[in-house]
Structure 1
Amino acid sequence: MYQPGVGDALDALDTPAMIVDLTLMDDNIGRLMERFRVRNVRVRPHLKTVKSPELALRLLAAGAVGGCVAKVSEAEVMAEGGIEDLLITTEIVGRPKLARLVDLLRKHSLIKVVVDSVEGARALDAAVGAANLEAKVLLDLNVGQDRCGVTPGEEALELARQIGEMEHLQLIGVQGYEGHLQHIHDPQERQRRCQQAMQTLTGTAEQLRTAGFPIQIVTTGGTGTAEFCADFDGITEVQPGSFVFMDTDYRNALGGVYSNALTVLATVISRPTPNRAIIDAGLKSLSIDSGMAEPKGWEQLAYQPKGDEHGALVWRDEADADQELPLRIGDRVEMIPSHIDTTINLHDTYYAYRDGRIEAIWPISARGKVQ
């Protein structure tokens, strides 16, 4: 079977194919790292976006202190790929997951986890204790997203006290993720609400320190809020992930701070009517949970999913509906995803290019790692 290789032109790729403009990606990474370097706040990128040890290592080389992952299975992939300092940002519950975590901790002692309940902490303590290990933990605080997280203040203090009595857990920090604020379009509103969340997070961290707990890490922030978080005293690190590639949802919220470096290359396979072009990228290639993908360079056109394998490009403005589309069968179109994380999870491979030629091919090793 024919496989494109490094040095080939993008024309060699079959479609749909996920392609990465290295010039734009490197600029995104360099720009973000510099913004936080001058703020003296560490960057721990969330690797659930890139899902690739190769890309994680590039982020470390650019200045990241480690990485975040959402699941134990992602941590397994990243640790095997050489990323040691990992924070698992989702609560780990159930014997199968705890057994996998213990296996990881035997080899990778820098891995850290979050807890938000006494029940979860006790189960974790028992699992690592049975293996004669210790786990570094952060309290996961609810700072307004109303997902996971212990209530800040007295409930968090009581949970910390309970953890302090456990032999095999070491409380080292707090996490508070304001995911509900990431895509607020009004920057003043996003900043105002982020500051409220940061007051809650850093205030609880100070309460814990006053009570005698050695809180070293206060971690928070996604691509949409990280810079606001970093300007708040007491924040030690931020967790942006989507900035590496960007998508239309973040672009619509942030403007042009970072560039859309990743697209899905598709081919026009049918022109059934003058005002409709069908491409070979449908729901199995482009996620639509955050809206429709957009054809790059064709702002006057809109994308409509037409099933698993097909998508339609039509005029965005109904006033143009009777005009013929300027696309022919065989033309290629780059589609900008609306949600980068879920789109990447649909693909096996990154084709990274510069000046129209493939420079690197990276497997998406953590694709589908949901456990």
Structure 2
Amino acid sequence: MYQPQIGDALELLDTPSMLVDLTLMEANIASMMQRLQARKVHVRPHLKTVKSPALARKLLAAGAIGGCVAKVSEAEVMADAGIEDLLITTEIIGQPKLARLVSLIQKHPALKVVVDSLAGAQALHQILAEARLEINVLLDLNVGQNRCGVNPGADARTLAHHIGTLSQLHLIGVQGYEGHLQHIHNPEERAQRCRQAMQILVETATQLRTDGFPIDIVTTGGTGTAEICAEVDGVTEVQPGSFIFMDTDYHHALGSSYANALTILSTVISRPTPTRAVVDAGLKSLSTDSGMPELKGQDDIAYHPGGDEHGILTSTDNATVPLEIGDRLEFIPSHIDTTINLHDYYYAHRNGILEAIWPVATRGKVQ
């Protein structure tokens, strides 16, 4: 059985395969770092996008101060690979997760976590006290997404003061993620609403400093808002992730700011009628939670899933589809994070020649 090797041409790859254009990816990284470093904020990329220590190290080499992860299981993989400065951005609740966290902190004490409730803070304190460990925590604040996060104002201050009584927890920052604003297509609306969210975040940080807490970290922002957040006085770091590869959803919101560097290579396996072609990339290869993927370079052909293994291509004007059995096509995912989670490997190429093969090391790490 053929095994892909560095130096192989892309024509040798089986399909579906996940491709990374290294020239475009490197340009995306350089562009983001240049834009944000000019604004004097730190970049802490969210590694739930790349799911790869190899790519995390590339981001660190480009100037990132550390990384974010969403789950304890992701932190285990990244920390064991030498990525020490990690922030887990999702609340850690339940004995199984807390026990895993303790084991992780014992080996990687620089780890930071977020809390948004009295119950969560108390449970974290108790298990750390039993293990004689301490940890730096950030207050997770609701800045309008209405997902996790303590409400600003009295609720946030009450929680902060409670954390202040817990000897194993050290409150050093606040996190506020405006995820509901990332994909707003109108740039003026996105900027206006983002600044409103940032006002809530930085005002809360100021209140907590007035109350005596050493709030050194104010972290926020995704790919769609990072540059806006970075212009707000008081924001110290941003958490973009998707910029490294991009997807159609972000591209429609941000335009050509970053290139679509990741595609899914697929093959036309059937041509039942002149107006329909079928490829070997279905729901197991391309996620559709943010809409349909797009065929690279052919706006007049629409994709929709035909099941787990099949994708159906039709012309947007019901005309003949100019494809033949055996044609190899590249699709741009609509949501990069969930599509990457469907694949085992990145096949990274430059000018059609493989330069690297990276495992998707945190694929399926949902705990």
Same fold by TM-score greater than 0.5: yes
Q: Give, in whole Å, the separation in 1 of the partners of 2:356 and 2:11.
A: 15
- 1:202 corresponds to which residue? 202
Partner deviation per Cα, 1:340-371 (whole Å, 9 max, x = no partner): 00000000000000011000000001000000
- 1:335 corresponds to which residue? 331
- 1:84 corresponds to which residue? 84
Q: Give, in whole Å, the separation in 1 of the partners of 2:35 and 2:104.
A: 33
CA-atom RMSD in angstroms = 0.6
Greater CA deviation, 122-131 or 202-211? Answer: 122-131
Q: CA deviation at 1:4?
A: 1.0
- 1:229 is aligned to 2:225: no
Q: CA deviation at 1:195?
A: 0.5
Give the counterpart letter for 2:345 in structure 1.
Answer: T
Q: CA deviation at 1:313?
A: 1.0
Q: CA deviation at 1:324?
A: 2.5
Q: Give, in whole Å, the separation in 2 of the partners of 1:127 and 1:24.
A: 45
Q: Give, in whole Å, the separation in 2 of the partners of 1:337 and 1:344.
A: 9
- Secondary structure of the 2:183 match is coil
Q: Give, in whole Å, the separation in 1 of the partners of 2:86 and 2:4.
A: 33
Query: Counterparts of 1:29-108 in structure 2 under 5 Å?
Result: 29-108=29-108
- 1:132 corresponds to which residue? 132
- Secondary structure of the 1:196 match is helix
- 2:297 corresponds to which residue? 297
- 1:364 is aligned to 2:360: yes
Structure 1, gaps ≥5 residues long: none
- Secondary structure of the 2:212 match is coil
Q: CA deviation at 1:304?
A: 1.3
Query: Counterparts of 1:264-283 in structure 2 under 5 Å?
Result: 264-283=264-283
Partner deviation per Cα, 1:254-305 (whole Å, 9 max, x = no partner): 0000000000000000100011110000000000000000000111100011
- Secondary structure of the 1:202 match is helix
Q: CA deviation at 1:326?
A: 1.4
Q: Give, in whole Å, the separation in 2 of the partners of 1:104 and 1:246.
A: 31
- Secondary structure of the 1:166 match is coil
- 2:257 corresponds to which residue? 257
Q: Give, in whole Å, the separation in 2 of the partners of 1:325 and 1:118.
A: 59
Aligned length: 367
Runs of 4 or more off by more than 6 Å in structure 1?
none
- 2:347 corresponds to which residue? 351
TM-score, normalised with respect to structure 2: 0.99
- 1:314 corresponds to which residue? 314
Identity %: 70
TM-score, normalised with respect to structure 1: 0.98
